[in-house]
Structure 1
């Protein structure tokens, strides 16, 4: 990469949007745009995509939108200006992201979505997402078993603008609501945040001291809930998460959080890069736009095999 191109890419990586030329020698650049890497799931996505892209001979531009659709739009401008030939995206909202993906398509830059769908078809080349409903049902079935089919429980829901939050909650309830002796006494969004989940769990416990279980829309919130439960001396409460993070794996192995549902973030991101590579070389992925990957239950039986959102054989 020449010096001018290096300076441009470095500037774009800092989130600065400039009126920059598209370099003719940018044929090997893939942009990877995800939510913040403070969440290990999104970091795994970015790391997986970047590693595969480099294996295939591409340069990478790794950017973070922090679930801000306006910032995401600016980062698309950055990727376009830097001459990216494809974009790997975990988007900042099902509706709010359509315009950004369309903007890239309009200048013939294909987008390959992971983890979260957008509401319009035919704009992205691929939308590769975990089967959140199937995964939620797995988690709910384990939760019901651990609860002995009875008792008061609370639910921590993800960010309301994220389609996955609603899908997971629906999957949970389509199983749990079949058991009349399981009674939900509290339900609140903690916006995928560990800090928010900690504070909300404290409040839920004060209002409902009989809580026996907590089912969470992701592992980050599950970790926040478990920290609050530990602080309150309530390590008897059953907590089940969703994502398959190393943090929750470690908690499971220590007898803390009881289970999670693995969605293969690292593999999913690598699959998106493989499809981008094939599309750039042949003009087609040979696959449907929307693709579902099944999730896997993780509990004390298989937690030792979990590493960075992947299970070893």
Structure 2
């Protein structure tokens, strides 16, 4: 487990941050992609922070899954003299370069959701806000193991291979099924569907067509889990004897759970991540104390507590 302190951020902490002396700050934000439901929620959190603090202005840019494009956006922010930068990184391996660029310019930089490769040794004006991926796939797969009574065939849908979250969530799955109480579960297929519902639909359709027998689909995010659900239903097969698990507790994921299509998801507080990332960039730009690494806990969502998250 990470040695960094896990913080559950309260309303009072947000309020205290918003009570900082009013000084205008223009913050540039580069997102992995605008075409992603989870990242939409992340951006909503950022917009909430700016709405609650009129001294913060946000400028959003879409990297469109392009590493070079994101690097150019950071360069443009620096050249434009913004007061701080928030990065939702396309690829963790490139973040060392982004950090160096910002440090050389004396520019605050805050990574959100996707940790930088150097998050354990960030410079003075840098921070990371996210959730510990060591917990996400672990919580998800422990629940799958429980529902399967430790036995069955599992299909695993992965996010992009270069993405830290996808890598960790998949490793979490493998680690859990290797435990004594879960080692009756066999991962029969494991392929990437790049966070995409459409790609997951196609992948699941191919698996069904090939005649693979499965008892569970464990997806690195809700979008891929929902693609699997749609493919299973389109094939005429029943969801009754299949455990479908996702991560992120997106609106569509929660609705699918309410409809009995999704069995498991894991809530990642994207709104809070977005809010705190922007407020951290603002605090650094004002020379105020800030947390270098802020971990916001994941939470298991099932039919038993679904009503708490449907709110």
Q: 1:265 — aligned with what?
A: 270
Of residues 217, 221, 231, the one that matches 1:218 is: 221
Distance 2:99 2:61 in 1: 15
Q: What is the aligned length?
A: 281
Distance 1:267 1:42 in 2: 12
In the alignment, structure 1 residue 238 sits paired with structure 2 residue 239: no
In the alignment, structure 1 residue 181 sits paired with structure 2 residue 179: no
Distance 2:64 2:266 in 1: 24
Distance 2:51 2:102 in 1: 22
Question: Mean alpha-carbon deviation: is it higher for 217-226 or for 143-152?
Answer: 143-152
**Contact 1:35-1:66 within 8 A present in 2 as well:** yes
Of residues 295, 298, 302, the one that matches 2:301 is: 298
Q: 2:255 — aligned with what?
A: 250
**Contact 2:25-2:282 within 8 A present in 1 as well:** no
**Residue 241 (structure 1) shift:** 0.3
Deviations 1:165-214 (A, max 9, x none): 11111111211222232111111011111111111111112234421110
Question: Mean alpha-carbon deviation: is it higher for 109-118 or for 93-102?
Answer: 93-102
Q: 1:155 — aligned with what?
A: 156
Of residues 29, 35, 51, the one that matches 1:38 is: 35
**Residue 100 (structure 1) shift:** 2.3
Distance 2:306 2:80 in 1: 41
TM-score by length of structure 1 reads 0.85
State the SS of the aligned residue for 1:63.
Answer: strand
State the SS of the aligned residue for 1:233.
Answer: coil
Distance 1:83 1:34 in 2: 19
Distance 1:305 1:63 in 2: 33
Q: 2:81 — aligned with what?
A: 83
Deviations 1:25-63 (A, max 9, x none): x95211122122321111111121122023222111011
**Contact 2:25-2:285 within 8 A present in 1 as well:** no
Distance 1:251 1:220 in 2: 11
**Residue 111 (structure 1) shift:** 0.8
Deviations 1:232-254 (A, max 9, x none): 12223211001110101000000
Distance 1:145 1:244 in 2: 20
In the alignment, structure 1 residue 122 sits paired with structure 2 residue 90: no
CA RMSD in angstroms, aligned pairs only: 1.8
Distance 1:72 1:283 in 2: 27
State the SS of the aligned residue for 1:32.
Answer: strand
Distance 1:221 1:54 in 2: 32
Distance 2:226 2:76 in 1: 34
**Contact 2:166-2:220 within 8 A present in 1 as well:** yes
TM-score by length of structure 2 reads 0.85
**Contact 1:27-1:84 within 8 A present in 2 as well:** no
Q: 1:229 — aligned with what?
A: 232
Distance 2:256 2:63 in 1: 29
State the SS of the aligned residue for 2:217.
Answer: strand
Distance 2:211 2:127 in 1: 44
**Contact 1:34-1:64 within 8 A present in 2 as well:** yes
**Residue 298 (structure 1) shift:** 0.7
**Residue 83 (structure 1) shift:** 2.6
5+ long unaligned stretches in structure 1: 1-25
